[in-house]
């Protein structure tokens, strides 16, 4: 879990049945090991490989996962069919901590502009109705809630992460393809969109990054540690991944 948007790489492709699947090949400097393949909710396929691996080796590795990639793309495309662009008008449904809330936009020229969570609704007060202003206010509100919520959940998860000696620095940063990341110097970065997911999903992402403080790669030891602190993390991951298309576009 790292990086914002993959801007550099080489496009390669292969056929699975009648479908041509295009993927982006990224180099991992000074890395060894297997080719890592990810399919993102926006249907981008990325293969991360050691920089000295030739294209044929990478292509072969990706082809072997052809069926899995095809099924991932199929599932994400189904989700995207039901995802309509946000208009930020009254009546829309928006997520917060796993629950859906109706958006209510109030035009009040003399009131302070802002967002309140009241009686199952997200009420946004604006001086004049503007899609961009409503979006801006909601974005700021989500970031503020994320900062507060993530700090509390980090403290709670640290009680389980006995290998962590000191509370790691926490940063909130909007990312297009990741829920979170852990830098080489131990800073944890979390996506504010994650605050729209259920608390269990937030805890999963935080624990995932805390495990990276002990194991920097997705090794067997990493997953063993993850299973020790959250035995059912796979189910939680599936739940979060299933909500990705809706949450990231909300």
Which candidate, 10, 40, 42, places its Cα nearest to that of 25? 10
pLDDT exceeds cutoff 80 at 124: yes
| 202 and 107 part of one domain | yes
The two beta strands, 188-190 and 170-172, are parallel
pLDDT tens for each residue of 26-70: 877 655 678 999 888 778 888 988 888 888 999 999 999 999 999
Boundaries of domain holding 64:
10-81
| 227 and 103 part of one domain | yes
Question: 205, 180 in Cβ contact below 8 A?
Answer: yes
| 144 and 65 part of one domain | no
Q: Of 28, 51, 81, which one is at a domain's C-terminal end?
A: 81
Does 167 map to a domain?
yes
- CATH number for position 230: 3.30.2010.10
**Residue 25 phi, psi dihedral angles, 5° rounding:** -95, 120
| 76 and 181 part of one domain | no
Q: Of 81, 106, 135, which one is at a domain's C-terminal end?
A: 81
| 174 and 212 part of one domain | yes
| 116 and 46 part of one domain | no
Does 88 map to a domain?
no
Question: 124, 105 in Cβ contact below 8 A?
Answer: yes
Average pLDDT (180-185) is: 88
Number of domains in the chain: 2
Question: 50, 187 in Cβ contact below 8 A?
Answer: no
Q: What residues are paired with 17 via a beta bridge?
A: none
| 104 and 160 part of one domain | yes
pLDDT tens for each residue of 60-85: 999 999 999 999 998 888 777 666 67
Does 87 map to a domain?
no
| 193 and 231 part of one domain | yes
Question: 117, 145 in Cβ contact below 8 A?
Answer: no
Provide the mean pLDDT of the chain: 87
pLDDT band at 6 (very low <50, low <70, confident <90, very high): very low
Ranges of beta strands (E only) in the chain are: 10-16, 19-28, 36-39, 45-50, 93-96, 99-107, 114-118, 121-126, 170-172, 180-182, 188-190
pLDDT exceeds cutoff 60 at 7: no
State the pLDDT at residue 156: 96
The structure tokens listed for 192 are 């504010």
Cα 206 from Cα 156, distance rounded (Å) = 10
| 69 and 105 part of one domain | no
pLDDT tens for each residue of 193-219: 999 999 999 999 999 999 999 988 888
The two beta strands, 180-182 and 170-172, are unpaired
| 77 and 97 part of one domain | no
| 164 and 240 part of one domain | yes
Q: What residues are paired with 117 via a beta bridge?
A: 122
Say what the pTM is.
0.70
| 110 and 44 part of one domain | no
């Amino acid at each position: 879990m790292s990086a914002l948007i993959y801007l550099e790489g080489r496009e390669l492709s292969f056929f699975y049945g009648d479908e041509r699947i295009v993927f982006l090949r990224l180099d991992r400097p000074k890395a060894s090991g297997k080719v890592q393949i990810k399919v993102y909710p926006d249907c981008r396929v990325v293969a991360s490989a050691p920089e000295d691996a030739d294209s044929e080796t990478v292509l072969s590795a990706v082809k072997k996962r052809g069926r899995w990639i095809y099924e991932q793309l199929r599932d994400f495309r189904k989700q995207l069919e039901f995802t309509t662009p946000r208009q930020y008008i009254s009546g829309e449904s928006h997520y917060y901590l796993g629950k859906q809330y109706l958006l209510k936009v109030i035009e009040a020229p003399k009131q302070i502009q802002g967002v309140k969570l009241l009686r199952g609704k997200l009420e946004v007060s604006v001086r004049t109705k503007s899609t961009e202003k409503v979006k801006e206010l909601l974005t700021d509100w989500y970031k503020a809630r994320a900062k507060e919520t993530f700090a509390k959940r980090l403290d709670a998860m640290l009680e389980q992460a006995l290998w962590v000696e000191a509370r790691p620095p926490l940063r909130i940063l909007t990312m297009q393809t990741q829920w979170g990341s852990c830098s080489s110097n131990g800073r944890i970065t979390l996506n504010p969109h994650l605050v729209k997911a259920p608390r269990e999903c937030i805890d999963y992402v935080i624990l995932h990054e805390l495990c990276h403080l002990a194991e920097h790669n997705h090794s067997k030891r990493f997953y063993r540690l993850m299973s020790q602190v959250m035995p059912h993390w796979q189910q939680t991951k599936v739940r979060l991944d299933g909500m990705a298309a809706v949450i990231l576009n909300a």
